Amino acid sequence: MAGDYDLVVVANRLPVDRVTEADGTTAWRRSPGGLVTALEPVMQREDGAWVGWAGSPGDPPEPFDAEGVRCVPIGLSETEVEEYYEGFSNGTLWPLYHDVIVAPDYHRRWWESYVRVNRRFAERAAEQAAERATVWVQDYQLQLVPQMLRELRPDLHIGFFNHIPFPPFEIFAQLPWRAAIIDGLLGADLVGFQRAADAANFTRACRRAKGLPARSGRIRLDAEGGREVRAASFPISIDFRALSDLAQTEGVKARAAEIRRDLGDPQFVLLGIDRLDYTKGIPHRLKAFEELLADEKVQASEAALVQVATPSRERVEQYVQLRQDVEVIVGRINGTHSTIAHRAVHYLHHSYDKEEMAALFLAADVMLVTALRDGMNLVAKEYVAARHDERGVLVLSEFTGAADEFGQALLVNPHDIDGLKETVVRALRMSPREAGRRMRALRRRVQEHDVQRWATTFLQALEEHAGTRGIESVDRAEDPA
Ligand code: G6P
């Protein structure tokens, strides 16, 4: 049975968080993520609904309206949180899709839970969507939803966007359920990725795992009368205007100055802001900073590194281990290089609101983004958007999606500690003129390619493709040896 909504977004998390007000009552408030901002105008215009998990185990609340969006909560039991979310999503797929930085765990029970929960999301989405509505499924937690939805509702236009990398086939091939994942994604009309390389990896996986004729981002399904699926890149972005404006408010500017004062007015402030995740290369950047202090390339008294590490997935074993590792390194650096008057590393295991983040960005001379693998890395784009003063230098890992767009950042291989150290020194000593020229180019890029443009471009491409569902001839491409 068809529902009322012309646009349905399906994501692991709802776009709102439950908050407790001063008077003790609870309410829903929009979460800080960019996806919500990107989709809010379209959701309001198109009569949108959002299907997602409310973030804690147990029975789901009834559907409700929040900030103009219909929210349809999905319930997950304690066991499903362990097996579908912490297990298969974040203990199997997350490390597998991020270059096996840590070893993925393969458990059949986790997989069964993933299938069961994906079916629940698909069923709820099918109930909400109007006749021939557009359904946009988000991210690796829900890769089976497109196919399940198509079986339930062949009339729908289905898009999928993968926010994280899609790995090369040689790595993806480890997954015991690789063919089922490909089948799941191919339920969509359009499968979107961050980088062209991710789309190419996916197309190749369709050939290698399923023997499908696929080339130039078009995969033909002969079993479905030649239905064609399109795979392409749509690099995600941020709400440039909102952050740039926020960073220009007097409150944020004053707070940035206060942060520098509280740090003891060092000559250089370096900054890292990440979820505490092993993909982010936090130990690598700490090691580089530690060696720079030890070699006296940077004087401990002249520099402070602020590392914000937002708590994340805290019950997953590899995250527990990472936290211990990071805290040992921070303790060692501070034990060796801090004085009563000056601390070398300010490590903050908290999350902050957007005003405080904007102030931190403004206070930082050098932003360190040293991810070992990252689908995009929106922090890099946020730093640039906040720097309306056209100051500050971005040091950016080559292994982020953002590196494809940010030729004017100082690109680094975070595994190359000597190279990273040299780049940090270069960033610290860069002339204001050169830094300004680079920052202007980076800002222009994000301003012209903001998250609103990302959402519109994806939805237009989906409508063009699904609207016609054209069957073009596709060669059966031979995979090069
Ligand atoms: C990445 C993923 C998102 C996820 C976010 C936070 O950005 O692509 O799907 O929501 O991390 O992780 P969490 O596990 O807390 O939802």
Domain ranges of the chain: 5-236+452-466, 240-448
Does 21 have pLDDT greater than 90? no
For 344, residues 6+ apart whose C-beta sits below 8 A from its C-beta are: 289, 293, 300, 303, 304, 305, 333, 334, 337, 338
**Which class would CATH give 5-236+452-466?**
alpha beta
Q: Which atom of ligand 1 lies closest to the CA of 138?
A: 9
d(CA 75, CA 61): 8
* Mutation test residue for ligand 1: of 84, 275, 276, 377, the one with most atoms within 8 Å of CB: 275
> Is residue 393 within 8 Å of 435, Cβ to Cβ?
yes
pLDDT of res. 471? 37
> Is residue 97 within 8 Å of 166, Cβ to Cβ?
yes
User: With left for phi above 0 and alpha for psi between -120 and 50, is residue 237 left, alpha or beta?
Assistant: beta
d(CA 228, CA 219): 6
Backbone angles phi, psi at 37, to 5 degrees: -60, -40
pLDDT of res. 475? 37
Q: Which atom of ligand 1 lies closest to the CA of 140?
A: 9
Does 220 have pLDDT greater than 80? yes
Q: Which atom of ligand 1 lies closest to the CA of 139?
A: 9
Q: Which atom of ligand 1 lies closest to the CA of 141?
A: 9
Q: How far is CA 353 from CA 194, 275, 374, in A?
A: 26, 14, 23
With a 6 A CB cut-off, is 139 part of the ligand 1 pocket?
yes
In the block, residue with structure tokens 């399109």: 230
d(CA 158, CA 413): 37
- Give the model confidence (pLDDT) of 23-56 as tens digits: 888 888 877 666 877 788 788 778 899 999 999 9
Does 192 have pLDDT greater than 70? yes
What's the chain's length in residues?
A: 481
- Give the model confidence (pLDDT) of 351-366 as tens digits: 999 999 999 999 999 9
- Give the model confidence (pLDDT) of 447-473 as tens digits: 999 999 999 999 999 999 998 654 343
pLDDT of res. 32? 67
Mean pLDDT of 272-301: 97
With a 6 A CB cut-off, is 82 part of the ligand 1 pocket?
no
With a 6 A CB cut-off, is 280 part of the ligand 1 pocket?
no
User: pLDDT over 70 for what percent of the chain?
Assistant: 96
Residue 388: both structure tokens together: 């309306």
Does 114 have pLDDT greater than 80? yes
With a 6 A CB cut-off, is 313 part of the ligand 1 pocket?
yes
Q: Which burial class, exposed, middle or buried, applies to 245 when counting CB atoms under 10 A from its CB (0-12, 13-18, 19+)? A: middle
| d(CA 192, ligand 1 centre) in Å | 17
With a 6 A CB cut-off, is 195 part of the ligand 1 pocket?
no
* Mutation test residue for ligand 1: of 9, 12, 53, the one with most atoms within 8 Å of CB: 12
The DSSP secondary-structure symbol of 298 reads: S
Does 207 have pLDDT greater than 60? yes
Containing 244, the helix (H) or strand (E) segment is helix 240-247
CA 322-325-326 angle, to 5 degrees, is 85
- Give the model confidence (pLDDT) of 383-434 as tens digits: 999 999 999 999 999 999 999 999 999 999 999 999 999 999 999 999 999 9
Residue 330: both structure tokens together: 């921070």
| d(CA 439, ligand 1 centre) in Å | 28
Which residue, judged by its Cα, is nearest atom 8 of ligand 1?
163
- Give the model confidence (pLDDT) of 231-281 as tens digits: 999 999 999 999 999 999 999 999 999 999 999 999 999 999 999 999 999
d(CA 195, CA 237): 12
d(CA 19, CA 26): 6
Q: Do domains 5-236+452-466 and 240-448 have the same CATH topology?
A: yes
> Is residue 355 within 8 Å of 255, Cβ to Cβ?
yes
The DSSP secondary-structure symbol of 264 reads: T
C-alpha 177 chain-centroid distance: 24
Which residue, judged by its Cα, is nearest atom 6 of ligand 1?
312
Backbone angles phi, psi at 316, to 5 degrees: -85, 130
In the block, residue with structure tokens 């977004």: 9
With a 6 A CB cut-off, is 163 part of the ligand 1 pocket?
yes
Residue 140: both structure tokens together: 């690796």
DSSP, collapsed to helix, strand or coil, labels residue 456 as: helix
* Mutation test residue for ligand 1: of 139, 198, 373, 376, the one with most atoms within 8 Å of CB: 139
Strand-pairing partners, residue 412, are 397
Assign a CATH topology to domain 240-448.
Rossmann fold (3.40.50)
For the beta carbon of residue 384, count every other beta carbon within 10 angstroms: 31
- Give the model confidence (pLDDT) of 312-343 as tens digits: 999 999 999 999 999 999 999 999 999 999 99
* Mutation test residue for ligand 1: of 14, 93, 140, 164, the one with most atoms within 8 Å of CB: 164
With a 6 A CB cut-off, is 233 part of the ligand 1 pocket?
no
Q: How far is CA 325 from CA 72, 273, 317, 349, in A?
A: 39, 17, 13, 13
| Terminal Cα-to-Cα distance of the chain (whole angstroms) | 48
Q: Out of 69-73, 159-163, 395-399, 476-480, pick the least confident.
A: 476-480
Query: Please, what is the average pLDDT of the chain?
Result: 94
In the block, residue with structure tokens 């050098």: 366
| d(CA 334, ligand 1 centre) in Å | 31
Mean pLDDT of 79-101: 98
Give the pTM: 0.95
Which residue, judged by its Cα, is nearest atom 12 of ligand 1?
312
For the beta carbon of residue 49, count every other beta carbon within 10 angstroms: 28
